[in-house]
A and B are shown apart, each in its own frame.
Chain A
Amino acid sequence: MTAILEINDLKKVYEGGFEALKGVTLSIERGEILALLGPNGAGKTTLISTICGISTSSSGSVFVDGHCIEKDFRVTRSKIGLVPQEINLEPFETVMNTVRFSRGLFGKPRNDAYLEKLLRQLSLWEKRGNRIMELSGGMKRRVLIAKALSHEPSVLFLDEPTAGVDVELRKDMWNIVAELKATGVTIILTTHYIEEAEAIADRIGVISKGELLLVEEKSALMKRLGQKQLQIELQEPVTALPEALQTENIALSGDGSTLTYTYDTQAKRTGITKLLADLAAAGLQLRDLQTEQSSLEDIFVGLVQEKST
């Protein structure tokens, strides 16, 4: 089965010469939820805009369900729904009219039964006759989602769906995403919140300064999170590790004074007892011990810093 979205070495240079995407390559499977994490200005919105046709790419290619976004733009754009980062809505229109307009704009015949189902699902049915300006911020965001889903897309982009949204609504949003996934929609969302990615994504991508630093299964990433580090300070620095301690999960610091032992907390045996026995056997005196658990945040910050130095 081909990937639903195939991005190859996508580059974007804005008019002023700013390189917002420096060759992004990414493949997204049908029906998965991918969360794109990245700091402000990383290029998340640019990436989405380029795929959806709002900005043009400078080089590289994108395929949606096997169709090129430039040559077959009618096919690819019909398959995509986009919820933009900013709340862009016509203030004087009613909810129903804007949603109906979106459906028509995407070439779908009128289907009020489907729109009713959609608005009910998003708790907007009561407000269908209200003008957009009479809605709360959270409702407006849901109108944007309704518009994006009005033409029954198979891929949905959510650009920071929960920015400036209260905790309860955020949970609502997560439920909506989960329901959509259940209907087979592929979802790509951007967020600044690690917990959000953790809560709903199947895979997590980290983007910074126009580069995709990592894309990994959430479970693999979580497994990394399950790892702990034991740091052992030695009384006397050593130049090399004793033979018995030369395994891949033990590292010696540059000055030879600290050993770092990485282990899995979920494993049956952590191997700590054996390590300590080996240290004693090698005649090494310990000054201090400490353990550390890495969080997704650490991995994320580490990756971003690694790239910027």
Chain B
Amino acid sequence: MNWTAIKSIYFFEMARFFRTLAQSFISPVISTSLYFVVFGAAIGSRIQEVDGVSYGAFIVPGLIMLTIMTQGISNASFGIYFPKFIGTIYELLSAPVNFLEIVIGYVGAAATKSLFIGLVILATSFFFVDLTIAHPVAMMAFMVLTCTSFALFGFIIGIWAKSFEQLQLVPLLVVTPLIFLGGSFYSISMLPPFWQTVTLFNPVVYLVSGFRWAFFGLADVPIITSLAAIGGFTALCLFAIWWIFRTGWRIRS
């Protein structure tokens, strides 16, 4: 393993993040606060409790998930698309590094960034709602895994994309709907039976459910299923990336 190279990529990417630190944090914090105001205060005053948890607190895991998934994807996809776009990718391709090292560097940095933002949102939540975390270790583990797997997914999108439009396309058309319909703001038990069944095909449901379990000890689906879902998704992304580098798809002519 070329650890020096991994460290270089990681810190170079992180430096970009820290240069625009305020910007990186302000927008997610503001949008999360808006969610609390709209969902927590306005809708929450009517729903009040879900499975014994106040609605304001109930949406916290979903909100964090929503943010770290979208941030993970956009950070990682941009991180690798940018060198492709401005041509500096030549240096990565001609460096003595293998695919795993490139992935660890870029995906690691993207995941770290979204983890930071997730933690900031968690901290913000404490200003709005009373929150106790039932399984803090499991919560952190879920957060790290989600950040990582969605950063891997974003990395693939970044390699696939041939334009900035395409870079936005998948997150906009696929990921955002999946996240919104994935039970971030409601328990799927609140849906009619037919839609409950449909929802079970949405992978995000398993992540949100597992994450919520870590907070409140209650879940829509068994925790084991959640773990399997995120493990499977990570493995799928890793396999795709391995294939990309082996064939040079869209990066090596």
Tell me if A56 counts as interface (CB < 8 A to partner B).
Answer: yes
Tell me if B165 counts as interface (CB < 8 A to partner A).
Answer: no
Query: In the complex, which of the residues A15, A97, A107 contacts B12, with contact meaning CB atoms closer than 8 Å?
Result: A97
Q: Are A86 and B87 in contact (CB under 8 A)?
A: yes
Tell me if B9 counts as interface (CB < 8 A to partner A).
Answer: yes
Q: How far is the CA of A78 from the CA of B97 in the complex (A)?
A: 10
Find chain B residues with CB under 8 A from A109 CB: 4
Q: Are B90 and A54 in contact (CB under 8 A)?
A: yes
CB contacts under 8 Å to B, within A235-251, are: none
Given A53-B93, A78-B96, A107:B4 Cβ within 8 A? yes
Find chain B residues with CB under 8 A from A219 CB: none
CB contacts under 8 Å to B, within A220-237, are: none
Q: How far is the CA of A278 from the CA of B248 in the complex (A)?
A: 68
Tell me if A28 counts as interface (CB < 8 A to partner B).
Answer: no
Q: How far is the CA of A49 from the CA of B253 in the complex (A)?
A: 9
Q: How far is the CA of A104 from the CA of B91 in the complex (A)?
A: 12
Chain B residue, CB-CB nearest to A46: B253
Q: Are B4 and A108 in contact (CB under 8 A)?
A: yes
Q: Are B96 and A90 in contact (CB under 8 A)?
A: no
* Most chain A beta carbons < 10 A, residue from B8, B9, B88, B96: B96
Tell me if A184 counts as interface (CB < 8 A to partner B).
Answer: no
Q: Are B96 and A77 in contact (CB under 8 A)?
A: yes
Chain A residue, CB-CB nearest to B10: A104
Query: In the complex, which of the residues A49, A90, A91, A106 contacts B95, with contact meaning CB atoms closer than 8 Å?
Result: A106
Tell me if B162 counts as interface (CB < 8 A to partner A).
Answer: no
Query: In the complex, which of the residues B5, B16, B88, B90 contacts A106, with contact meaning CB atoms closer than 8 Å?
Result: B5
Q: Are A105 and B87 in contact (CB under 8 A)?
A: no
Find chain B residues with CB under 8 A from A77 CB: 94-96
Q: How far is the CA of A97 from the CA of B4 in the complex (A)?
A: 15
Given A82-B90, A86-B87, A73:B96 Cβ within 8 A? yes
Q: How far is the CA of A129 from the CA of B2 in the complex (A)?
A: 28
Tell me if B7 counts as interface (CB < 8 A to partner A).
Answer: yes
Query: What's the nearest-Cβ distance from chain A to residue B249, in Å?
Result: 11
- A interface footprint on B77-119 (CB within 8 Å = 1, 0 otherwise): 0000000001110111111110000000000000000000000
Tell me if B140 counts as interface (CB < 8 A to partner A).
Answer: no
Tell me if A101 counts as interface (CB < 8 A to partner B).
Answer: yes
Q: How far is the CA of A7 from the CA of B141 in the complex (A)?
A: 50
- B interface footprint on A87-112 (CB within 8 Å = 1, 0 otherwise): 01111100001001111111111000
- B interface footprint on A251-282 (CB within 8 Å = 1, 0 otherwise): 00000000000000000000000000000000
Q: How far is the CA of A256 from the CA of B113 in the complex (A)?
A: 82
Query: What's the nearest-Cβ distance from chain A to residue B90, in Å?
Result: 5
Q: How far is the CA of A77 from the CA of B91 in the complex (A)?
A: 11
Tell me if B133 counts as interface (CB < 8 A to partner A).
Answer: no
Q: Are A107 and B253 in contact (CB under 8 A)?
A: no
Q: How far is the CA of A107 from the CA of B2 in the complex (A)?
A: 6
Q: How far is the CA of A108 from the CA of B7 in the complex (A)?
A: 11
Tell me if B15 counts as interface (CB < 8 A to partner A).
Answer: yes
Tell me if A80 counts as interface (CB < 8 A to partner B).
Answer: yes
Tell me if A14 counts as interface (CB < 8 A to partner B).
Answer: yes
CB contacts under 8 Å to A, within B1-36, are: 2, 4-5, 7-9, 12, 15-16, 19
Query: In the complex, which of the residues A14, A107, A147 contacts B91, with contact meaning CB atoms closer than 8 Å?
Result: A147
Q: Are B252 and A105 in contact (CB under 8 A)?
A: no
Q: Are A105 and B93 in contact (CB under 8 A)?
A: no
Given A54-B252, A77-B95, A84:B86 Cβ within 8 A? no
* Most chain B beta carbons < 10 A, residue from A86, A105, A109: A105
Chain A residue, CB-CB nearest to B94: A52
Find chain B residues with CB under 8 A from A52 CB: 93-94
Given A15-B253, A56-B252, A77-B96, A105:B5 Cβ within 8 A? yes
Query: In the complex, which of the residues B4, B15, B248 contacts A104, with contact meaning CB atoms closer than 8 Å?
Result: B4
* Most chain B beta carbons < 10 A, residue from A90, A92, A100: A90
Query: What's the nearest-Cβ distance from chain B to residue A100, in Å?
Result: 8
Q: How far is the CA of A147 from the CA of B253 in the complex (A)?
A: 23
Find chain B residues with CB under 8 A from A53 CB: 93-94
Q: Are B4 and A88 in contact (CB under 8 A)?
A: no
Find chain A residues with CB under 8 A from B16 CB: 92
Chain A residue, CB-CB nearest to B95: A105
Tell me if A74 counts as interface (CB < 8 A to partner B).
Answer: yes
Q: Are B253 and A55 in contact (CB under 8 A)?
A: yes
Q: Are A56 and B248 in contact (CB under 8 A)?
A: yes
Query: In the complex, which of the residues B2, B7, B8, B9 contacts A74, with contact meaning CB atoms closer than 8 Å?
Result: B2
Where the two chains meet, the residues of B that have a C-beta atom closer than 8 Å to any C-beta of A are 2, 4-5, 7-9, 12, 15-16, 19, 86-88, 90-97, 248, 252-253
Q: A14-B253, A103-B8, A107-B2 are in contact. List 7 more A-B contacts (CB 8 A).
A: A77-B95, A77-B96, A78-B96, A104-B5, A105-B9, A105-B95, A108-B4
List 18 interface pairs A-B (beta carbons < 8 Å), by A numbering.
Answer: A14-B253, A15-B253, A53-B94, A54-B90, A54-B93, A56-B248, A82-B94, A84-B90, A92-B16, A101-B8, A101-B12, A104-B7, A106-B95, A106-B96, A107-B2, A108-B4, A109-B4, A147-B91
Q: Which 8 A-B pairs have the closest CB atoms?
A: A104-B8, A88-B87, A77-B96, A74-B96, A52-B94, A55-B253, A54-B93, A107-B2
